[in-house]
Structure 1
Amino acid sequence: MPSSSRLDTRGVAAYVAIAYGFSWLCVLGFVLGFGTAPEKSPGMFKAIAALSMFGPTVATLLVSRWVSPLPSLKRDTGLGLGQHRWRFFLLAWLGTPVVVLGALLLSALVYPQAMDLAGLSSVRALIAQLPPAAVEKLGKLAEPHVFLALQVVQGALLGPLLNVPFIFGEEWGWRGYLLPRLLPLGQWRALVLSGVIWGLWHAPLILLGHNYPQHPVLGILLFTVVSVLLGILLGWMRLATGSIWSAVIAHGSLNAVGPVVMMLGHAGSPPDTALVGITGWPGWLLLAALVGVLVLTRQLPVRPPDETRDMPGDAHASRA
């Protein structure tokens, strides 16, 4: 973490400008080349969205090299494994899917009509698109409830690993570089402000229907709320360990399991993600409750760990 008590305005401004500029230009390139309907070129849209995720990393590299050099890039941006590593790795890997599924359960209790949990018509429609030979080979695995469970388990176990290269592109920037640079403002302000910046960075993708297909404009505000809440939790992992890697795993798990909500709607009518899932307001309540638990248990705000050493375990545990 930066030891200076003064905000590096020049470095932060340059970082935000480059991160936004790189990523937004990627999306602009897609719009100019393929239009504003991602569903017509889904493969290219996914590729461009993945490329845009490296904007924060590009900004980190350029700013830390040319604008505001850091004494130690590895230490000051959390590239080491940090403290309490295994506890936080497991929490990120296994806890994140539980939170996502908890948000779905809460959504089902509040808006049962928004999801087809009994018939799983969207899952049935997805299975119907598979070649008959593939369905026959799957056997009982092609039964809707089993197929859905398999998608969740695969996403929870393999998603974090498969997503690491892309999620690193974001997390090294947002939690690795930006969050520590904002700490002179105070920990809570840094967590909230970095979350706002992170959320608004998604604006071009959301305008194209990402995350909130029914609310492309309002979705920018909605996802900023989600980003602040998620950013506090990911930032807690970063600050408590002195490392970005638990945040990378949690973010990767979220991206792998979160889209399961789209399989729970009625066939031909995707659920309103402003109302259900981790991106909907029931998800906000759950995330806010988790933040509250961290505050009540005095884990937030965090006393930064000693990053000068790559500690092997939970010895020298720090308390808030």
Structure 2
Amino acid sequence: MLFPALILATICLDLLTKNARPDRTFSQLHGLFASAGRPLPADLRRFAFGQLGIALLIGPPLHALTTIGEEVGWRDFLLRWLIRLGFDQWGALLISGAIWGVWHIPVILLGLEYSNHPFLGIPAFVVYATLVGVILGWLQLASGSVWVPAVAHGSINAVQRASLVFITGYDGLISGGLGSFVGWLPLTAFIVWLVRSRHLPVRDVSPPETAIRV
């Protein structure tokens, strides 16, 4: 529930700062059904809340089956390899997160992220990936299991799209998700809490448990 809570905080900030407004007609869903050539559900509101409920309950473990590959590579391998090389936890977390963001450059240039800002989207995604990477890396180091960040990563993929149908009028770079400028605020606030509560750096790192050793 960590990332769904951060996504909810982002949407609330979007609305409070008027960088988005409630989509009472569910215009995004209208467009999705129209582009797919499918008839609209009888009750779009019930459909939207139903999809969000499914995303919250079963989305994270289902999406973890696809995010596990990334987490094995970026967190279970790269993060711990950097620490073994002699980097402290902060250095390893920031470097691995930034590399993870740079790896997404082709996706951004293809317009699959920040579709209206293909070039500004590159540094924006690197910052976003670094912030998320710190949190996912903390989950990896604190738990010792790659499945923990995989499920957390899966919760982002499952819940973010399902929640954004409730707002409209947002610019993906400025608002509308954790990857936006507004979305960086809850991510940063949570990292600050980790530091102030002394959860990060992780003092007692659990033995690594990979996707194979479960």
Per the shorter chain, which TM-score range? Answer: 0.7 to 0.9
User: Cα distance, 1:261 vs. partner?
Assistant: 5.5
Match of 1:293 among 177, 184, 193: 193
2:130 pairs with 1:228 = yes
For residues 138-177 of structure 1, the aligned pairs below 5 Å read 142-177=42-77
Q: Contact between 2:59 and 2:154, CA under 8 Å: does it hold in 1?
A: yes
* Bigger Cα Rg: 1
Instruction: Name the amino acid aligned to 1:120.
Output: F
User: Cα distance, 1:253 vs. partner?
Assistant: 0.8
Instruction: Name the amino acid aligned to 2:51.
Output: Q
2:76 pairs with 1:187 = no
Instruction: Name the amino acid aligned to 1:167.
Output: T
TM-score by length of 2: 0.86
In 1, the alpha carbon distance for the partners of 2:124 and 2:188 equals 14
User: Cα distance, 1:209 vs. partner?
Assistant: 0.8
Q: Contact between 2:145 and 2:208, CA under 8 Å: does it hold in 1?
A: no
Instruction: Name the amino acid aligned to 1:161.
Output: P
Corresponding position of 2:119: 217
Instruction: Name the amino acid aligned to 1:95.
Output: L
Match of 2:5 among 95, 98, 106: 98
Instruction: Name the amino acid aligned to 1:207.
Output: L
Corresponding position of 2:212: none
Corresponding position of 1:244: 146
Corresponding position of 1:122: 28
Corresponding position of 2:203: 303
Percent of residue pairs bearing the same amino acid type: 39
Instruction: Name the amino acid aligned to 1:251.
Output: H
Helix, strand or coil at the partner of 2:58: helix
User: Cα distance, 1:262 vs. partner?
Assistant: 4.8
Q: Contact between 1:121 and 1:265, CA under 8 Å: does it hold in 2?
A: no
Q: Contact between 1:104 and 1:278, CA under 8 Å: does it hold in 2?
A: no
In 1, the alpha carbon distance for the partners of 2:53 and 2:6 equals 14
Match of 2:170 among 261, 264, 271: 271
Go from structure 1 to structure 2 and tell me whether the alpha carbon gap of 1:260 and 1:274 turns closer, same or farther (over 3 Å shift): farther
Q: Contact between 1:123 and 1:264, CA under 8 Å: does it hold in 2?
A: no
Q: Structure 1 unaligned runs (5+)?
A: 1-93, 136-141, 310-320
Per-residue CA deviation, residues 255-291 of structure 1 (Å, 9 max, x unaligned), is 111123552454xxx7321111211111101000000
117-126 vs 224-233, greater mean Cα deviation: 117-126
In 1, the alpha carbon distance for the partners of 2:32 and 2:47 equals 10
Go from structure 1 to structure 2 and tell me whether the alpha carbon gap of 1:308 and 1:302 turns closer, same or farther (over 3 Å shift): closer
Task: Report the number of matched residues.
Answer: 205
Q: Contact between 2:140 and 2:146, CA under 8 Å: does it hold in 1?
A: yes
2:15 pairs with 1:108 = yes
217-226 vs 152-161, greater mean Cα deviation: 152-161
Match of 1:257 among 156, 159, 164: 159
Go from structure 1 to structure 2 and tell me whether the alpha carbon gap of 1:257 and 1:280 turns closer, same or farther (over 3 Å shift): same
User: Cα distance, 1:100 vs. partner?
Assistant: 1.2
Go from structure 1 to structure 2 and tell me whether the alpha carbon gap of 1:104 and 1:265 turns closer, same or farther (over 3 Å shift): closer
Q: Contact between 1:164 and 1:248, CA under 8 Å: does it hold in 2?
A: yes
Question: Which structure would you say has the larger RCO, counting Cα contacts within 8 Å and 6 or more residues apart?
Answer: 2
Q: Contact between 1:242 and 1:304, CA under 8 Å: does it hold in 2?
A: no
In 2, the alpha carbon distance for the partners of 1:199 and 1:247 equals 16
Match of 1:282 among 159, 179, 182: 182
User: Cα distance, 1:245 vs. partner?
Assistant: 1.1
Q: Structure 2 unaligned runs (5+)?
A: 210-214
TM-score by length of 1: 0.59
Per-residue CA deviation, residues 22-44 of structure 1 (Å, 9 max, x unaligned), is xxxxxxxxxxxxxxxxxxxxxxx
